[in-house]
């Protein structure tokens, strides 16, 4: 799962990039400007755990809550 938000200043707005790295598919919501910029951003993203130099960890403090 890929989720990124991008803050824009001119015009002021927020864009969202959602995607699935394993399916190589994604969608942009509230796009601002050139769509090619979002395509380049998606190509540069790496999901932790899906590249040799990354790992993904989850930690839980059970003293505070049973849910992570």
Q: Which SS3 state, helix, strand or coil, does residue 40 take?
A: helix
Range of the domain at 7: 2-44
In a domain, 36, yes or no: yes
In a domain, 34, yes or no: yes
Instruction: Tell me what pLDDT residue 16 has.
Output: 92
In a domain, 23, yes or no: yes
In a domain, 18, yes or no: yes
In a domain, 68, yes or no: no
Is this structure's pTM higher than 0.85?
Answer: no
In a domain, 53, yes or no: no
In a domain, 37, yes or no: yes
Rounded to an integer, the average pLDDT of 42-61 is 66
The pLDDT tens digits of the residues spanning 51-60 come to: 666 666 667 7
Q: Given the structure tokens 């930690």, which residue do they identify? A: 59
* 25 to 12, 43, 59, 61: CA distances (angstroms): 27, 11, 29, 34
Count of domains forming the chain: 1
In a domain, 57, yes or no: no
Structure tokens at 26: 């994604």
């Amino acid at each position: 799962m890929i989720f990124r938000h991008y803050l824009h200043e001119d015009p002021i707005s927020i864009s969202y990039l959602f995607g699935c790295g394993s399916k190589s598919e994604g969608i942009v919501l509230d796009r601002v400007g050139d769509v090619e910029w979002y395509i380049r951003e998606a190509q540069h993203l790496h999901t932790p755990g899906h590249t040799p130099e990354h790992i993904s960890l989850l930690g839980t403090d059970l003293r505070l809550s049973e849910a992570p």
